[in-house]
Amino acid sequence: MPQKAYVRATRPALIGGLIAVAAFFVIGLVFLALLVREGAGIGVIFMIFWLFVVALMAGGLIRNLRHYDKDAAGSVAEEIVLPDGVSLPGAAKSGIDFDVKLRKLEGLKNEGLISEDEYKKKRAEIMDRKW
């Protein structure tokens, strides 16, 4: 069974993103004021759209920051499937990957890459580990 890992932004990355979004909002307000003063209708419409998009981005960042510790699944940016043989940090401690190792070992035996004695020895090593 393939393992899944969830990728999300770190707290400092979210704060940095929020600072950048605040700067984009301020720049948008400055340009909006200039465009209103110049009477550039299409520019004003664009800047209103710009401010709306930046506000949406800020809302997403603030939501992820507020729920960072409470809702790990809700602040996930991406779910990835790990390839066979790759385990998450701490997986050996929690016993998550022992079954992957056993299946891989079985495959090596079935393909004739290791002998029956090597298989039994390595299987015993895997089973003797605390899981």
Note the pLDDT tens digit of each residue in 3-30. 666 677 888 999 999 999 999 999 999 9
Q: Are 93 and 122 part of one and the same domain?
A: yes
Q: What is the pLDDT of residue 89?
A: 59
Q: Are 99 and 124 part of one and the same domain?
A: yes
Strands (E), 8-129: 78-81
- Domain span at residue 16 reads 4-79
Note the pLDDT tens digit of each residue in 103-120. 888 888 998 889 999 999
22-43 burial string, b = 16+ CB within 10 Å, else e?
Answer: eebbeebeebbeebeeeeeeee
Nearest of 50, 45, 55, 61 to residue 9 by alpha carbon:
61
Q: Are 75 and 13 part of one and the same domain?
A: yes
Total domains in the chain come to 2
Note the pLDDT tens digit of each residue in 61-108. 998 888 777 755 555 566 677 676 666 555 444 455 677 888 888 888
Q: Are 89 and 75 part of one and the same domain?
A: no
Note the pLDDT tens digit of each residue in 33-56. 999 999 999 999 999 999 999 999
